[in-house]
Structures are given as C-alpha cells and as structure tokens.
Amino acid sequence: MPEHSALSAIQQADFTLNDWLAYIEALHPKDIEMGLQRVDEVKQRLNLQTNFPVITVAGTNGKGSTCAMLEHIYQAAGYRVASYSSPHLLHYSERVRVAGQEIKDHELIAAFKAVEAARQATQLTYFEYGTLAAMWHFAKAQVDVAILEVGLGGRLDAVNVFEPDCTIVTSVDLDHMEFLGNTRESIGAEKAGIFRKNIPAICGDINPPNALIAYAQKIGAKLQLIAHDFAFERTQSTWTYRSDDIEFKQLAMPALKGDFQLYNASCVLSAIQSLQNKLPVNVEAISQGLSKVQLRGRFQYIAHAPDVILDVAHNPHAAKSLAINLEQTKSNGQTIAVFAMLADKDIAGVIQAISSQIDAWYVSGIDHVRGASVDKISEAIVEYLPQASIKTFKTVTDAYHQACIDAHENDRIIALGSFFTVAEVMRALHGDNQR
C-alpha cells in the first residue's frame, strides 16, 4: 500500500472505510504535526468554499459540551447544522454530523476520495485529512452553519485554515504541554490563535491568561469575557443569561450534568447573540436545545444498581469538575474507579483531583502506544494515597467486568482517565469492535 503517493482509482475502488482509515493513519510519520501549510495547500486544491457561517471552538475542557449545545440549539431553531468534533469513541463517523445524523460510510469514502485526489504528494496527518474531508462533505451538504471543534491548541490546528464568523475559547489549563507550552500563558496564546479581526472572540475562562487578552486586542478581535461582558445567574431550576445587550430569563438548565456547564452555556448564548443577524434564534429554541443536549462520555450514566458512569476526564481541570459532579450526586455505597490513562498526561494531577470521591481503584493499561503502564498508574496512586485500595488488570475490559462483579447495587462505578478508557467500556457493554 503506497504511503506517500496518491492512491490509484483501482486501489480506491476496493477500499472499505476501514481500509481508508488505516491508509490515512499511516500516511504521515507523526500522529500530530503542528502547522497549517499542508492542510491549506490541499484546501486550495479542493477549492473548498465555506458559504455558510463557521463557529470555531477551542479550549482545554468544555469544547465538546459547547459544540453539542450549539448544535442542538441551532437544530431546535430549524437550521441544517454541521458539526465536526474529535476524537471519536467507537466509530469515526461520530466526528462528522449533519442535521444531527452521523455521516454515512459511503459519504465519508466519497470525501476521502476527494481529499486524496487533491492531496497529490502532500503528507497530511490523520486529523488534517479528516478535517478536509468533513468540510468537503459540509460544502456538498448545503448546511446553514458549521460548528468546528479544534483538535489541539488552535493557532496551528487544521480547523484554523477555515475562516470563522465567531470563535469561542471555553477554558485554558495545562494539557498537551509538549505541543502548546507548559504555562497557561503559552497555552492561552495558542488557543487565541483562532481569533480574527472584527470577529466575536468569546472566552469562558473566569481567569483568562493575559496572553489571550493581549492577542485579541492586538488583532482587533471583538473580545467578550465571561463575568465581564456576559454572565449567568442560576436559580433553583432555571438560569438567567445577561450581557450588555440582552437578558434571557428562566432558561432551561443544560441536560449535561454539572454546574460548570453554565459557563459553557453562557459562551454558547454569547455566540448565538453575536450571530443573530446571520442566524436568528429565539429563546424557545435556546431552552429546547439546552434541555435536549446529549454528549456521550461526559458524566454519562449507562446503567443503574449499581450506577455506571462514563467520563473522559483526562487532565486535572476536567477531573476536578468530575469530582464536583460525583460529590453532588452522592452514592449510598462505594465508588469504584475503572482507571486508565495515557502516559503523557498528568496522571498524578488527575489522581489528586478525583481522589476524594474514590473508594477503590481498578487500574488497567490501555492498548495504545501512548498508554501508561499499570505499574506507573498504581505507583502514582500509592504516592498520593498510601492506603488506597488498588486492584490491577491487563485491560480496561477486565477491570470493568471485575468492578461489575464486586460492586453492590448501592455502589457506583466510574470509568475515567481517557477517551480510550471510556470507549473500551462502551465496547465491553455493546460488543462493538468496529474502528
């Protein structure tokens, strides 16, 4: 199978979707290679035109929730909405949606063929290839608005080759430090790279890095900061959004769990308000969208008696939010963590953030080149919690199955630490082994 030259029509004719995904994965020697030149070159050859508003969303945590809220609200308002997100949990098609429906295999293959024809000798990464394919599909699907989730950072992310009509940075914290820098300031500067002159630049971080603010001011972006330019107030069962221009009262609470979701929801409403001249939305559609929003793997209950919860939290900031959710949904029994992480993540930081809510740790490895070993994770737990109850397993599936055996009906099981962890539990539940 050729890795650098374009596939022939004969080769493409025999390719299944899994063949295409394997080919794309092997195309570039690195999983991640920051930069816009490669993807921009192929974009130009594809003559990709975005004749629809684009909302670009970046942030350490909260990107997925924010994109999901935008998608559901605009759909409730009657728009044909495109959404591009990553990573996927079980199927690649989860990444690309139009009108609430995942892209079909034949549509995805058609998009890959178009990118391959335009790529020529350019080596695209897996994410770059997928981003171009998604946007090619959206252009063909005649959508009204596209919501694009940044994969990593912002400034040099493939999504950033497409000019936005509105930008959101949900939060800034320490993650992907090998690519983005090891301070909030450096990471904030990278995420601010999605901002544009005279375009709304919304930030939901309560303490935004100075570098983010400075960049927005330097280029003349229309910066809107939470708790300064817009804010929210929660009542017992509803909430209020207000800005200098408008106030929405008695809004439905987001269906996604956690009080922190109101920060994401406020960013969403700020974005919607900034685009009212292009995409009018009324308050009824806002409440309807918020009340129905769903996002797999974010404090997702998948079983009861015992409760089984899935959460992709993989950095300390996300783990803190998860700990708050667990605290607010008290269990009458013990909480068992099915826990596996990637080696390049802040394992100790996640353990410290979540430890107050965990009674027993069922630790496993991840079948991935970046997966942390059982020993590494166990040592990190013991270092912070010398008396911790720890059981070790070869796979996440093994850990989950044993947790189900050991748990009583009043206990709860929380699978966390990585998208890979959550995905493997999902496959264990559904017997789904597709890519």
Q: What is the pLDDT of residues 79-96, one digit of tens each?
A: 999 999 999 999 999 999
Q: What is the pLDDT of residues 269-286, one digit of tens each?
A: 999 999 999 999 999 999
Q: Where in the chain is the domain with CATH 3.40.1190.10?
A: 9-292
Question: What is the enclosing helix (H) or strand (E) of 392?
Answer: strand 390-393
For 250-278, b/e burial (b = at least 16 CB within 10 A) is ebbbbbbbbebbbbbbbbbbbbbbbbeee
C-alpha triplet 66, 68, 70: angle, nearest 5°:
70
Share of the chain above pLDDT 90, in %: 79
Predicted local confidence at residue 154, as pLDDT: 82
pLDDT surpassing 50 at residue 433 = no
Min mean pLDDT across 35-39, 279-283, 354-358 is at 35-39
Banded model confidence at residue 173, pLDDT cuts 50, 70, 90:
confident
Q: What is the pLDDT of residues 297-350, one digit of tens each?
A: 999 999 888 999 999 999 998 999 999 999 988 888 999 999 999 998 999 999
As a whole number of angstroms, the distance between CA 156 and CA 190 comes to: 8
pLDDT surpassing 90 at residue 179 = no
pLDDT surpassing 80 at residue 32 = no
For the segment 204-212, the average pLDDT, to the nearest whole number, is 94
Computed over every residue of the chain, the mean pLDDT equals: 92
User: What fold is seen in the domain 9-292?
Assistant: UDP-N-acetylmuramoyl-L-alanine:D-glutamate ligase (3.40.1190)
| Amino acid in position 242 | R
Report the CATH architecture of 300-430.
Alpha-Beta Complex (3.90)
Q: What is the pLDDT of residues 91-121, one digit of tens each?
A: 999 999 999 999 999 999 999 999 999 999 8
**Is the whole-model pTM more than 0.95?**
no
Min mean pLDDT across 174-178, 208-212, 373-377 is at 174-178
For 40-65, b/e burial (b = at least 16 CB within 10 A) is bbbbeebebebebbbbbbbbbbbbbb
Q: Where in the chain is the domain with CATH 3.90.190.20?
A: 300-430
